Structure 1
Amino acid sequence: MSVIFRTVERPSDPRVENSPKKYFPQLITLGQSVDLAFIAQKMQDRSSLSIGDIKSTMQNFVEKLKEQLLEGKTVNIAGLGVFMLAAKSKGEEKADDITAKSVESVRICFQANRELKITKVATRAGERLDLVSLDDYLKGKVTIGDGSDKPSGGGSVGDENDNPLG
């Protein structure tokens, strides 16, 4: 599997004013994001279930996942990861000043289990991550997959410093 990156310049520590600039790899997503129907189709190829059964099961999973999170539980799915809620607030000087109103927003966080984590070194060829520079890709020096993937304005960009917990 290949993932394309581009090189970007930004402050080495964005929290420090006038910190020296460095160059970082920034991962690029090719094409549009996939949806539930696409994933269901891919799963149906390896299952005796119908696409409708798979979609229904996945939709029910999402409903029940949210339900459990709203009950204050974490949800640990073996082979996938742990889902949990996290609160955002400005903080207070004294502990006694913290109330439910201190919470500005709540988000769902996800921490991948070891089985799902992606590394640059893998024992199985299908799980190996190859990083390819955008310049080499655009110059035709390398191809991705079957060669049908092309950079698209519909993709998204992330980098190694992005926090997976949001």
Structure 2
Amino acid sequence: MPVLYGSFQSVLKDKNGKQLFYPRVLRTGNVSTSQLSKEIAAYSSLSPGDVKNTLDNLVTVVGQHLQSSESVTLDGFGTFRLVMKSNGKGVETAVDVSAAQSSLTVRFLPCSTRHLDGTVATRSLVTGARCVRFDRADVSVPGDGEGGKPGGGSGDDGETPDPAA
């Protein structure tokens, strides 16, 4: 199935005062840990229960390392790390800085490959993906049993537009 996208209009205006349109990925559903376990088990000699237990333990262990101020790299997937997102309440001296001025959040950086010419490709999770505009796609939506084209909703998931995309 292709990656479906739709168009959305930015709330921000460009230098000419126009609100431009950008592509945004549309999600057709969510895959649970149980479903992932079944699919991974099909590629291995493990049972879906064994895989689910491993994934559950992965979440626990990754959390422990992140909470110990370590980043966690999963080869071929990417790196997770904790960051402090400032809530705009700065202080005048370094001594007065406290954790209450921010909230912890997890950042994910996809796996990347460095080429000989110095460029970096962060494409491991999207290599081979085919993007299709949802209103031009001839695909059925997984899980709804009725087929059809995805749509509905505003598509606004809080992402900032990427003009380079």
Task: Give the structure-1-normalised TM-score.
Answer: 0.71
1:148-159 correspondence to structure 2 within 5 Å: 148=147, 150-151=149-150
Structure 1 unpaired stretches of 5+? 119-126
In 1, Cα distance between the equivalents of 2:78 and 2:58? 14
Corresponding residue to 1:143 among 115, 132, 139: 139
In 1, Cα distance between the equivalents of 2:96 and 2:49? 46
1:14-25 correspondence to structure 2 within 5 Å: 19-25=17-23
1:76-107 alpha-carbon deviations (Å, 9 max, x no partner): 11111111001122152534254224433101
Letter in structure 2 aligned against 1:60: N
Offset at residue 129 of structure 1 (A): 2.0
Tell me what 2:7 maps to: 7
1:101-150 alpha-carbon deviations (Å, 9 max, x no partner): 443310111111026342xxxxxxxx42222222223xxxx336999574
In 2, Cα distance between the equivalents of 1:116 and 1:76? 14
In 2, Cα distance between the equivalents of 1:149 and 1:81? 34
Structure 2 unpaired stretches of 5+? 113-122
Corresponding residue to 1:67 among 52, 64, 69: 64
Query: Is contact 1:8-1:24 (8 Å) kept?
Result: yes
Task: Give the structure-2-normalised TM-score.
Answer: 0.72
Q: Cα distance 1:13–1:73, how it changes in 2: closer, same or farther (>3 A)?
A: farther
Query: Is contact 2:10-2:19 (8 Å) kept?
Result: yes
Q: Counterpart of 1:21 in 2: which secondary structure? A: coil
Tell me what 2:124 maps to: 116
1:14-46 alpha-carbon deviations (Å, 9 max, x no partner): 8x9x9421111121111x201000000001111
Offset at residue 68 of structure 1 (A): 0.5
In 1, Cα distance between the equivalents of 2:156 and 2:32? 18
Question: How many residue pairs are counted as aligned between the two chains?
Answer: 146
Corresponding residue to 2:97 among 87, 95, 99: 99
Tell me what 1:49 maps to: 46
Q: Counterpart of 1:73 in 2: which secondary structure? A: coil
* Alignment root-mean-square deviation, CA: 3.2
In 2, Cα distance between the equivalents of 1:80 and 1:87? 23
Bigger relative CO (Cα 8 Å, ≥ 6 apart): 1
Q: Cα distance 1:57–1:101, how it changes in 2: closer, same or farther (>3 A)?
A: closer
Give identity over the alignment, percent.
Answer: 22
